[in-house]
Chains A and B, each alone.
Chain A
Amino acid sequence: MLFYVLGGIAVIASLLVVGQRVPMYSVLLLIVSFIGLAGLYVLLDSPFAAVTQIIVYAGAIMVLFLFVVMLLNAPREEALVRSTLGVSIGGRPLRVGAILALVFLAELLWAFWRAGRTTVDAGEAVASVSSVRQIGVELFTTHAFAFEVTSVLILVAMVGAVALAKRHL
């Protein structure tokens, strides 16, 4: 089934992103994960989401990451797992983090268990959500203010990024 193929691509690529030590491979694998997610958006009858996923995420944001990785000539990470696990036995904040991780894991397993027995059908919704025209109308009428604020946010981010990268901290 297509859902499992695309979901598997996304999950495996994300796992490899986290497990990978070379930053360049991490970035490229994340693009694979995003492509899997874009396929899932197509399955969800949301082509607008899929296209923006590819163009904005895989196209723009990941290029930004690639530029920085190449600019900094980032080295391989040194001794990732061993040092982390070695410290986690000692440090108090890390111990709290480990307990938190176990709680989240239990919650996730509980969610799996529940998902196995409750069936909510995603396909039964009747109204079409695939219309890009409908999204545009909603975006520029109901959410017009939020949309304009977003442009201010982007402007602030742009000015901030230039200021931060220029000056020596």
Chain B
Amino acid sequence: MPTLSHYLVLSAVLFSIGTAGVFLRRNLIAILLSVEIMLNAVNLTFVAVGRYIGSVEGQIIMFFVMTVAAAEAAIGLAIVIALFRQRETLNPDAFTALKW
């Protein structure tokens, strides 16, 4: 029987993988995918802790996180499309207009 600690460690590992993806990848779509991995790791924490304290709140928070993730994906991908039209590349290093 896996304990709560197992789920929390698994969630931490997934979150770290997502964080590494955000920093290492050089592709805007891959960075958004890594953000989705991180959001899912947090969702797993919420559901596991909710199960542990015997409350449905964890799943309700997961539901809200999911809607926010959907909105984030829609806006993020729209920005990616707009940027790709402008520069014909997905490399985030190519977009330096806001760099000081």
| A residues neighboring B (CB under 8 Å) | 1, 3, 7, 10-11, 14-15, 17-18, 20, 23, 26-27, 30, 33-34, 37, 40-41, 43-46, 48-49, 52-53, 56-57, 60-61, 64-65, 68-69, 71-72, 74-75, 77-78, 80-81, 83-84, 97, 101, 104-105, 108, 111-112, 114-115, 118-123, 125-129, 131, 134-135, 138-139, 143, 146, 150, 153-154, 156-158, 160-162, 164-165, 167-169
Enumerate chain B residues within 8 angstroms of A49, measured Cβ to Cβ.
43, 47, 59, 62
Q: A44-B48, A72-B81, A143-B60 are in contact. Are A111 and B9 (CB under 8 A)?
A: yes
Interface centre among A1, A20, A74 (most CB of B within 10 A): A74
Do most interface residues of chain A lie in helix, strand or loop, or is the interface mixed?
helix
> What separation, in Å, do the CA atoms of A83 and B24 have in the docked complex?
10
A67 to B32, CA, bound (A): 14
Contact of A43 with B79 in the complex, beta carbons under 8 Å? no
Is the beta-carbon distance between A11 and B7 smaller than 8 angstroms? Answer: no
B60-100 vs A, CB cutoff 8 Å, 1 = contact: the mask equals 10111011111111110111111111100011000000000
Binding site secondary structure of chain B: helix
> Assuming the A-B contacts A14-B14, A61-B73, are A119 and B5 also in contact, with contact meaning beta carbons closer than 8 angstroms in the complex?
yes
Residues of chain B contacted by A65 (CB below 8 angstroms): 29, 32-33, 73, 77
Residue in A closest to B79 when the chains form the complex, CB atoms: A164
Given contacts A81-B24, A122-B48, contact A138 B10 (CB under 8 A): no
